[in-house]
Amino acid sequence: MTVNSPLEVSRWLLAALSTKMFRYYEDRIPQDASVLVVSNHRSFMDAPILMAALSSSIRFACHHYMGQVPIMREIVTGQLGCFPLEEANQHRQQSFFQQSQLLLQSKQIVGVFPEGTKPMVEFTQPNRVGEFERGFAHLALRARVRDLAILPIAIASLEEVNTSAVPLRVLSLFDPSEPLFNQSGWHPLVTYQRVAVLIGHPYWIKPLQKEKYQGKKARTMVTELTNHCHSEIANLLREGCY
């Protein structure tokens, strides 16, 4: 580990912002396995929070525009090790699968925020989790990886400061394909002062599940896996926020 590793940068950021983090159920973290972290998402601090909570560098898939905006690009991709998705929707999923599978095969931890961009560009309540996109479930069932665990984690804000960062229309200059940027208003900036990280039960992907991931059964398997992770995170979030 180098001084400038994503984990060290994450710890430095939390210390610089005087953020107090409380971690629960750390005994659920899988050991000696490929891990796909799935979490709710409201703040620019979520990736560093999760790295600090797991005491590991995590390779997060992030929105295309984060790899385009100056300064943000250097921090997100350079310092934190995130990999931006492709701009074009038709290539985005394929790129996500390819990059994530290679990382998981090398036993690196991959992180995803299935709520997508929406909770980042709209002011949302700390105890709410939005609808999940299903790409992570397809990845888990399709990836040629042994001993793969999906680890649902809830980030529960206990005390935060809400401000505004930049007008949303400014971000459309870096990613015109994102409809959420083509509206008035400002990009929220949520800074945690006190935050709880609740680690859920790992969901292990078994050979039988991969066998069922074909034909008409594939959609059922993806739905079940997506709903399971959403429910686990929602329950943990309620526990952490009250």
* pLDDT score at 71: 55
pLDDT at position 2, please?
45
Distance CA 208, CA 226 (A): 17
State the pLDDT at residue 76.
Answer: 67
pLDDT averaged over 10-residue windows placed end to end, the chain, 242 residues: 73 94 96 94 92 92 59 63 65 79 92 83 84 93 92 96 77 65 76 97 92 89 95 95 76
Read off the pLDDT of residues 151-181 as tens digits, 9 standing for 90 and up. 999 999 999 998 887 776 766 666 666 666 6
Alpha carbons 161 and 158: distance in angstroms, whole number: 11
Boundaries of every domain in the chain:
6-241
- Position 180 scores a pLDDT of 63
Query: pLDDT value at position 65?
Result: 58
pLDDT tens-digit profile of 4-14? 688 898 999 99
Which pTM was predicted? 0.87
- Which of 97, 99, 102 is closest to 83 using CA atoms? 99
Burial zone of 39 (CB within 10 Å; 0-12 exposed, 13-18 middle, 19+ buried): buried
How far lies 167's CA from each of 7, 173, 233, in Å?
30, 11, 30
- Domain 6-241 coded CATH 3.40.1130: yes
pLDDT of res. 158 = 95
